[in-house]
């Protein structure tokens, strides 16, 4: 299976500069870095100008790296399904900024958490709001020729691959697909089944491992340290013809953090080049 090896910026300690991320990614054999849009004085933030965004892309290209996709945690703060319209509109603006930045970066995909089911936001309401938001954002995505990848996360929403496929299909846009996270489904499903059902809808892949015996957020672990059936995952990806980026999203080591970048690169090679 042909694949391209990337790394998410969350794999580095928070204080790591973009320049140092790029240096380590290049040194350890990655082809691309996925940056995460944030607020405030983050290295990649909402208020950046077009010129500043071009500067980030130029720095990556200068090292022979790509910026294949754009992610964010801001859609947990500004869910597209929130009861307050102002919060939902802020979420729309976040995704629009991601799409604009992705277009400047030459990125293929932006990662979108579609919403949150909570005690205050019923499941059916979240579904309708998510679909409406994605239909609206699809026009922006088409304008900039950037794919929206709806990610499966621990949000009590889109709990089966059939439902996720249905939502994507109901948006009725070739620019809206899935950003599939292998590790996020293991607690309540089988990643290889999700891959086969989502099929060609998958635009990008996140990987991390998970220990089912832990069963909570602390169960996420580095690659090969958990219970992901990697052989079955690779087989399913081959079956659907996936050839895009494989991007780890793993918390950094507390000591000697560059070792995570090195170890993850080696694990990716062992898993996907076997």
Q: What is the CATH number of domain 4-273?
A: 3.20.20.150
3-state secondary structure of 110: strand
Residue-level pLDDT at 2: 76
Long-range contacts: 131-136, Cβ < 8 Å, 24+? 131/167, 131/170, 131/171, 133/80, 133/81, 133/88, 133/91, 133/92, 133/95, 134/80, 134/167, 134/171, 134/173, 134/176, 135/171, 135/172, 135/173, 136/92
In sequence order, the β-bridge partners of residue 7 are 33
DSSP assigned state of 124: H
| 0.95 surpassed by pTM | yes
Residue-level pLDDT at 274: 57
pLDDT band at 273 (very low <50, low <70, confident <90, very high): confident
Map out the domains of the chain as residue ranges. 4-273
Mean of the per-residue pLDDT values of the chain: 97
pLDDT in tens, 47-73: 999 999 999 999 999 999 999 999 999
Place of tokens 């290295």: 43
pLDDT in tens, 184-243: 999 999 999 999 999 999 999 999 999 999 989 999 999 999 999 999 999 999 999 999
Residue 106: which region, alpha, beta or left (left: phi > 0; alpha: psi -120 to 50)? left
CA distance 6 to 124: 35
Place of tokens 């870095």: 33
């Amino acid at each position: 299976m042909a694949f391209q090896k990337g790394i998410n910026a969350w794999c580095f300690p928070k204080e790591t500069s973009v320049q140092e991320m790029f240096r380590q990614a290049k040194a350890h054999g990655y082809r691309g870095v996925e940056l995460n849009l944030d607020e405030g004085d983050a290295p990649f933030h909402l208020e950046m100008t077009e010129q500043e965004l071009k500067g980030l892309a130029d720095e990556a290209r200068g090292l022979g790296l790509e910026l294949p996709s754009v992610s964010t945690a801001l859609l947990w703060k500004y869910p597209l399904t929130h009861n307050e319209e102002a919060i939902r509109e802020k979420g729309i603006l976040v995704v629009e900024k991601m799409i604009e930045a992705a277009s400047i970066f030459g990125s293929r995909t932006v990662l979108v958490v579609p919403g949150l089911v909570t005690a205050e936001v019923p499941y059916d309401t979240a579904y309708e709001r998510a679909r409406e938001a994605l239909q609206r954002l699809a026009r922006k995505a088409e304008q900039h020729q950037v794919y929206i990848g709806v990610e499966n996360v621990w949000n009590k929403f889109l709990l089966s691959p059939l439902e996720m496929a249905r939502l994507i299909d109901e948006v009725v846009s070739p620019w809206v697909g899935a950003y599939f996270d292998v590790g996020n489904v293991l607690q309540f499903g089988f990643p290889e089944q999700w891959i086969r059902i989502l099929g060609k809808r998958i635009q990008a892949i996140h990987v991390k491992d998970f220990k089912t015996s832990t069963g909570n957020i602390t169960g996420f672990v580095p690659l090969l340290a958990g219970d992901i059936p990697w052989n079955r995952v690779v087989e399913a990806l081959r079956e659907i013809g996936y050839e895009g980026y494989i991007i780890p999203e793993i918390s950094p080591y507390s000591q000697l953090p560059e070792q995570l970048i090195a170890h993850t690169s080696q694990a990716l090679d062992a898993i996907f080049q076997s």
